[in-house]
A and B are shown apart, each in its own frame.
Chain A
Amino acid sequence: MTVLGQLSLGLALLLAAWGSVVGFVAGRTGRPELIRSARRSVEALFGVLAVASVALLVALIRHDFNVEYVALQTSRNLPIVYTIAAFYSGQSGSLLFWAFILSGFAAAAQWTTPGRYRHLMPYVGAVTCVVTLFFVTTILFAASPFERLPFTPADGNGMNPQLQNPGMAIHPPMLYLGYISIAIPFAFAVAALLSRRLDAGWIHAIRKWTLLSWIFLSVGVTLGMWWAYVELGWGGYWAWDPVENASFLPWLTMTAFLHSVMVQEKRGMLKKWNVVLIMLSFLLSIFGTFITRSGIISSVHSFAQSSIGYFFLVFLVVAIIALGWLLWSRLPLLHTETRLESMVSREAGFLFNNLLLVGIAFSVLWGTLFPIISELFRGTQVTVGPPFFNRVNIPIGLALLALTGIGPLIAWRRASPKNLRRHLVVPTAIGAVVAVLLVSGGVTDFYSIVALALAAFVTAGIVQEFVRGVGARHRLHGENHALAFMRLIGRNRRRYGGYIVHVGIVIYFLGFVGMAFKSEMEASLKPGETATLRSAYGHEYAFTHLGISQYEALNRFVTAASVEVQRDGQRVGIVRSEKRQHVDSFGRPSFEPSTEAGIRSGLLLDLYVVFAGAIAGTEEAVYRFTINPLVWWVWFGGVVLVFGGAVTMWPGGGPTKGAPRRRVAGYSVQIVEEKVAEKV
């Protein structure tokens, strides 16, 4: 299928180039036939990249090992799920996947954007075509998945064992979907700048896209944490690795954008800032791929490295210059319509939220790039580790958490400090009670006490918001409390869906706090021997080594070590950790041995057992035992966050129907009536 694949890619190159040029010309001249041709190039681009993707999938499924990519990424004994996932597990395949999804999003944007934004669409098409053009060029000239080998190997190399994990089948696509979908809001922003139509139109047009891409990014980052936790075997889920940081950076700027865009919608402020944020998010998503793909900074994720880093670097530099010029030339059109009325207002809250988010983003970027900067100036790569990131980001993160609690309690436009204080009384009291309970319970870690107290504060604030909102509806509309609750959420989905997302964030923090209380030990145990470890809750866990077993599985030799776990003398169960030696279909070892951690997960803590190896052919095993409190809550926070995001995005009903129009009309009549009363 390589001929079809190559042909489709060549065609995609032409279509993307055509779409880029025609889109810009159509946008400038407004000629209908060019507008239609530009739109069709976007659709056709999606079609031909779909053909190329199908060609690669067919080659993978057919085990066509004459294709270099298939031989490198798969083997005959690789389960079919991973054979399909191999589409995006390697360098060139993942680039094709990226281009294909981008073209799909671009076509979807053309199809779903309402007609009133039609003046933006040729430019949007052009921008998406330019980005696709870059990816297709990189694939064709630096990393084609359709390269053939001069010979046909009997079997392929197989997939990196660390990638053979169910999380791997969904984590990269989710993160990619997040990264790639940023290109659509970015394209609208550039379209608005190019067309000089910088009213709130483009902001409205991208509302759903921004949320969608933020949800994908959040899910992608969380799944990445989960993958690192179950697969890398070091007992944690976040190590401030460059690639983890690269996925976190656009998430931070997108989160900032989600908040500041509301200020522009409601008050016509922060226009320049919003354009800058969306551009930054896009550039950071490209930067993330650059980091992953160039191998410029060593990382646990560097599964694919090659010269394509230069392509990304050139694209980044050109994009920064072009965007900088565009922004500079449109600055006069981006003036603020209103001024900040008071520092005690929701918009001021969003301003601080943005400063903190961008502060974190800057520190993470600095820490990530520090090895390169230090190499540039001092000749050696100096890596800044987790201590740097934690020292800088924990205080900012906690300030952000506090703001998550305060922000929703402040009114838009202007709030009197007295009213704010009244709203803060209950949440602050609850936060203080939690802090006192923790201190009296013997907790000494300062940041943990602050984080948990703030978590209680934020949760109380959100509950209070719901209670007051239901009360207000009950009084204003005479609805019973259940109906008022449903309508409160249903008719203000953005606001109350957003509050649910905040609950998700609080739950994440709960999980993060747990990591401060992890306990771990290493032990070398003969069968029947026991090691004990005390958990943060004061329970004594005893791990008794049962023995080592060896067996052959589908594509690996497994050496498994089992321990029986007891808590304060009560049997909990058996946990098993494995060492896996992956082999190809001829039984030849294909990768370095990998470790599969044994995890027993619970609401309060996870037991995490890693079998580090057996001692010289005996049944004596070296283990690392870790007790991780509250890890489960990190994953659950992700679920709540996605649920909140879905509520925010849910189409139809609510404010889109007649109710607010009716209310608007009601006010309209009321105001005129009042004026009449004044005059008569």
Chain B
Amino acid sequence: MVELVVGVIVAIVAVGIVLEPLLRDGRGSLHYGNDTDDAEEDVLTDIEESESPKVQALLALREIEFDRETGKLSDEDYQSLKQRYAAAALDAINAEERTTAEASAAPGEMDAAEAAVQRVKSRKNVECPSCGPRPERGAVFCSGCGRSLVVKHDRSRCWMCGSALSEGAKFCSGCGTTLS
């Protein structure tokens, strides 16, 4: 008898749990499944999982560099692969900048690659708090100590990976870092 009662209770609870979303007709008061929770989960845990062509091309470059250093790639192969993936990365960076530019409704008459070049040229030489001024224009990380040089309230670049950000972005499109 006790078993039957327990069984009926289990049945009622299980059916209730499964049907509740239908009965409440998705008014959004549930703990899971609403957009905020999902968005918070969305931070990439591994940069290799990024589907951004830019990140993928840059990761390939990193690997090519390491393979050359361990002697697996000959200098010729290294040069040709590097050239190809650098071009792919640049294309991706350009595409990304173009998207950002379009998103911020800036007049996009200039050639996108030219725009990227102009942007870099217009950037100032930055200063690392511990290593002093850096020779690389527009550096996002210090080439001496690796420290991020993007201040967190700079809304134009991601402080984690340096990707350009579209206006009002809550997450970085390059690495998924939470920006708010």
Contacts and interface: CB of A to CB of B under 8 A. Distances in A.
Contacts of A667: 58, 61-62, 89
Contact of B139 (A7, A423, A658, A669): A669
Nearest to A35: B33
Taking chain B's interface residues, is the majority helix, strand, or loop, or is none over half, making it mixed?
helix
Contacts, number: 206
Interface in A113-164: 114-116, 118
Interface string B34-75: 000111111001111101001100111111111101111110
A76 interface: no
A418 B74 CA distance: 8
A510 B12 CA distance: 58
Contacts of B113: 675
B26 A409 contact: no
B42 A423 contact: no
B69 A419 contact: no
A47 B69 CA distance: 53
Taking chain A's interface residues, is the majority helix, strand, or loop, or is none over half, making it mixed?
helix
Given A199-B51, A468-B71, A472-B66, A51 B32 contact: no
A490 interface: no
B25 interface: yes
A516 interface: no
A664 to B, nearest CB: 4
A671 interface: yes
Interface string A640-680: 00000000000100011010111111111101111110011
B133 interface: no
A556 to B, nearest CB: 35
A476 interface: yes
Nearest to B49: A204
A414 B61 contact: no
Contacts of A116: 41-42
Contacts of A539: none
Nearest to B74: A416
Please classify how large the interface on chain A is, using the bins under 10, 10 to 19, 20 to 34, 35 or more: 35 or more
Contact of A471 (B65, B70, B76): B70
B7 A8 contact: yes
Contact of B19 (A35, A37, A48, A416): A37
A404 B68 CA distance: 21
A419 B136 contact: no
B18 A661 contact: no
B71 A668 contact: no
Interface string A16-28: 0011000000000
A4 interface: yes
Nearest to B24: A33
A476 B69 contact: yes
Contacts of B21: 32-34, 36-37, 40
A467 to B, nearest CB: 9
A182 B55 CA distance: 30
B14 interface: yes
B22 interface: yes
A669 B140 contact: yes
Nearest to A265: B48
Given A33-B24, A115-B40, A3 B69 contact: no
A672 B117 contact: yes
Given A36-B32, A669-B140, A664 B62 contact: yes
B17 interface: yes
Contact of A37 (B3, B22, B38): B22
A451 interface: no
A468 B11 CA distance: 61
B120 A672 contact: yes
Given A204-B49, A655-B46, A671-B86, A39 B33 contact: yes
A40 B51 contact: no
Given A7-B10, A114-B45, A671-B86, A469 B58 contact: no
A43 interface: yes
Contacts of A410: 72
B93 interface: yes
Contacts of A423: 71-72
Nearest to A112: B41
A673 B136 contact: yes
A32 B25 CA distance: 9
A668 B93 contact: yes
A521 interface: no
A116 B40 CA distance: 10
Contact of A673 (B63, B74, B120, B162): B120
A3 B47 contact: no
B71 A419 contact: yes
Interface of A: 1, 3-4, 7-8, 11, 15, 18-19, 31-37, 39-41, 43-44, 47-48, 51, 114-116, 118, 199-201, 204, 265-266, 409-416, 418-419, 422-423, 465, 468-469, 471-472, 475-476, 651, 655-656, 658, 660-669, 671-676, 679-680
Given A31-B26, A419-B71, 7 more contacts: A36-B26, A40-B17, A115-B39, A204-B46, A660-B48, A662-B141, A669-B140
24 contacts: A4-B3, A4-B4, A11-B11, A34-B21, A34-B22, A35-B33, A36-B33, A37-B20, A40-B18, A114-B42, A200-B51, A412-B67, A419-B74, A476-B65, A651-B45, A655-B46, A662-B148, A663-B62, A664-B161, A665-B141, A668-B162, A671-B90, A675-B116, A676-B120
Interface of B: 3-4, 6-8, 10-11, 13-14, 17-22, 24-26, 30, 32-33, 37-42, 45-49, 51, 54-55, 58-67, 69-74, 76-77, 81, 86, 89-90, 93, 113, 116-117, 120-121, 136-141, 143, 146, 148, 160-163, 174-175
